[in-house]
Chain A
Amino acid sequence: MRDIPLSRAAPLAAALLALALAPLLAGAFHLRFLAEILLLGTAVMSLDLLVGLGGLVTLGHAALFGTAAYAAAIAALHLGGNLFLVLGAGTGAALLMAALMGVAIMRSSHLFLLILTLLLGQVAWEVAFHWREVTGGADGLRGLPPLSLGPWRLDGPRALFLLSGGLALAAYLLARSFADAPIGRALVGAREQPLRMSALGYSIPRIRFRAMLAAGGIAGAAGSLYPFLNLYVGPQSVHWSLSATMIIMLVIGGVGSLWGAFLGSAIYLALQTYVSAYTDRWQLFVGLVFVLIVLLLPRGLAGGLTGGLAGSLAGVLSRRGRP
């Protein structure tokens, strides 16, 4: 059996413990809040596949997440809230959007990639905002039926939390397997030495396309469940500013760690939820945290935590080793 490094096992164990304890300790509001962190965190983690592994900074990720949210909501409104139907419709729509975006970014990088994804994201937003008959326009879609699985309704905070937790965990394991698989290593290679990768026989466009599909699928699964937290989806969920927010969450949590995405989402949403109760200028605090993280913890909270944990353990072990 393969050894799992401490930097991966410790957060995974902590996450499993938190998932098990939260339904026993948290109230309805906090369970919904945690579910939102888990779903947005999953989308941010999928962005980490592109940014952290591939160096592909995109401003179109909200388009994947939001397209899935709309597709799931529309499917639920017309066909009911069956969990698998909703997940299938949302993830399928996100995969289609990812394929479109993947084709567009196959041969571009850096600033051009940023602008291309921004433009594609804006196209998705225009559709959501102006196609009133289908998307509800600026008002979005309300009155969604609750999620269900056979005879069980999944609309209580505990059920939504457990569903979001299960999806986040499955998505993390999937993303981790992607990062460790040949395709994940090839994505890192394409980021570091694209010319050398071409000379080794790798098609850089094909690597980018597949990475976009993987990220789109995971973001889409998270986006599929997102409207059912508040039984609403609006055009803000496909707007480019949500993509920028996801990048901020990722930098705060730690680019390249995958699990840091959940920390970044938690910090951002906590500031948004709690600080905004006292002041409208809560984004100033987000900016402050962002600057501090960039200056003091360039590898984000995840890098700081694993570095600190590893340092502490090394310190304890070296003290034990002394006569």
Chain B
Amino acid sequence: MSALLEISGIGKSFGAVRVLSGISLAVSEGETLGLIGPNGAGKTTLFNVVTGFLRADAGQVRFAGAPVDRLPPAERAARGLVRTFQKAMVFPALSLRESLAMAARQRAGQGLRWLGARACHQESAARVERLLAESGLARHGGERMADLSYGEQRIADLLMALALEPRLLLLDEPTAGLSQAEAERLLGIVRRHDARTAIVLIAHDIDIVFNHCDRIAVMHLGQLLRTGTPQAVRQDAAVRAAYLGSLAD
């Protein structure tokens, strides 16, 4: 299977601190890759480089066969390279439905329309209602995002990303602060939405990563320590020493 995302030799420093060093990784269509490692390993920095929020000092990022290093985040997102952030970034003053519609309209290339806006609203409404129904949040559609619970905000954040119909979805600790049941619900929404969507998942909950991912990449001190199937990674002595320890048992 050809790689949807290819990262080769990525390096990044902040001043004298080297946070990413020679990272090379590939993600295929429909694959779920777990990205794990201790705090400060460089996982979120790698996300920032891949999505264009940070520029790498070295290396290349290719998406769907084309280099995207010089593209701003918005253009990468428009190509289907979509992310969420560590914290739920919702729009407090907008309703859940409005927020999803904003994402759906952008997907349809109508995000900045002024005239003929009513037609835009109608076109995006169907996609929004489908997402609300799939997520079980339909009854909260009219509520302001600020009034949703934390768990609902995290799901809403995810739904905005899904409304873009991503080809690759990078989820940065989407389950942080959620109960096991809420986390399972959230990941269930992702998987049910579209099986062709590739996912890169950062999470500190080892059970979630090992249960939901096809492959796992382990980062440590800005380097890629190991990549492999959950079983191979669990058995790897270097991974156990650097990160998993007794958690692997």
Verify A178–B114 contact, CB threshold 8 A. yes
CB of A35 closer than 8 Å to a CB of B: no
Is A180 interfacial (CB-CB < 8 Å)? Answer: yes
**Which residues of B sit under 8 angstroms from A181, Cβ to Cβ?**
113-115, 117, 120
- Is the CB of A121 closer than 8 A to any CB of chain B? no
The answer to whether B74 and A183 touch across the interface, beta carbons within 8 angstroms, is no
| Cβ < 8 Å to A, chain B residues 137-192 | 160-161, 164
User: What per-residue 1/0 map shows which CB atoms of A105-149 lie under 8 Å from chain B?
Assistant: 000000000000000000000000000000000000000000000
Q: Which residues 161-201 of A sit at the B interface, judged by CB distance below 8 A?
A: 177-178, 180-186, 188-189, 192-193, 195-196, 198-201
Question: Number of A residues contacting the other chain (C-beta, 8 Å)?
Answer: 26
B77 near A199: Cβ-Cβ < 8 Å: yes
For residue B107, which residue of chain A has the nearest CB? A201
Q: Enumerate chain A residues within 8 angstroms of B85, measured Cβ to Cβ.
A: 195-196, 199
CA distance A163 to B146 in the complex (A): 43
Interface pair A185/B98, CB less than 8 Å apart: yes
B99, B111, B161 pick with most chain A CB within 10 angstroms: B111
The reply to whether the CB of A86 lies closer than 8 angstroms to some CB of chain B is: no
By a CB distance below 8 angstroms, the chain B residues around A186 are: 102, 106, 111-112
Q: Does residue A160 face the partner (Cβ distance < 8 Å to B)?
A: no
How many A-B residue pairs lie within 8 Å, measured between CB atoms? 98
A98 CB to closest chain B CB (Å) equals 15
Contact A189 B102 (CB under 8 A): yes
One digit per residue, 1 when the CB lies within 8 angstroms of any chain B CB and 0 when it does not, for chain A 63-85 equals 00000000000000000000000
Check B112–A199 contact: CB distance below 8 A. Answer: no
In the complex formed, the residue of B with least CB distance to A195 is: B89
- Residues of chain A lying within 8 A (CB to CB) of residue B74: 198, 201-204
Give Cα A221–Cα B48 distance, bound, in whole angstroms.
44
B83 CB–A CB distance under 8 Å: yes
- Assess whether B82 is in contact with A180, with CB atoms less than 8 Å apart: no
Q: A181-B117, A182-B113 are in contact. Are A193 and B89 (CB under 8 A)?
A: yes
The answer to whether the Cβ of B105 comes within 8 Å of any Cβ in the partner chain is yes
Chain B stretch 62-101: residues in CB contact (< 8 A) with chain A: 72-75, 77-78, 82-85, 89-94, 98-99, 101
User: Binary interface profile of A, 220-244, with partner B (CB < 8 Å = 1, else 0)?
Assistant: 0000000000000000000000000
Known contacts A196-B85, A200-B102, A203-B74; decide if A214 and B114 are in contact (CB<8 Å). yes
Query: Do B51 and A183 have beta carbons less than 8 Å apart?
Result: no
- The answer to whether B98 touches A200, judged by C-beta atoms less than 8 angstroms apart, is no
Question: Which of A177, A193, A214 is the one whose CB lies under 8 Å from B117?
Answer: A177
- A30: B residues at CB distance < 8 A: none
Whether a CB of chain A sits under 8 angstroms from the CB of B103 is: yes
Which of chain A's residues have a CB closer than 8 A to the CB of B73? 198-199
Contact check, A192 vs B110: say whether CB atoms are below 8 A apart. no
Q: Give bound CA distance, A206 to B73, whole Å.
A: 14
Specify which of A177, A178, A199, A214 is in contact with B82 (CB 8 Å cutoff).
A199
Q: Flag if A201 contacts B77 (CB, 8 Å).
A: yes
Contact A200 B164 (CB under 8 A): yes
Q: How far is the CB of A205 from chain B (nearest CB, A)?
A: 9
24 contacts between A and B (CB under 8 A): A180-B117, A181-B114, A182-B111, A182-B120, A185-B101, A186-B111, A189-B91, A192-B94, A196-B89, A196-B160, A198-B53, A198-B77, A199-B83, A199-B84, A199-B89, A200-B102, A200-B103, A200-B161, A201-B74, A201-B78, A201-B164, A202-B74, A202-B106, A203-B72
Given A184-B114, A186-B111, A201-B164, list of 5 further CB < 8 A pairs?
Answer: A192-B94, A193-B90, A199-B73, A199-B89, A201-B77
Closest 3 CB pairs of A and B: A181-B117, A201-B77, A196-B89
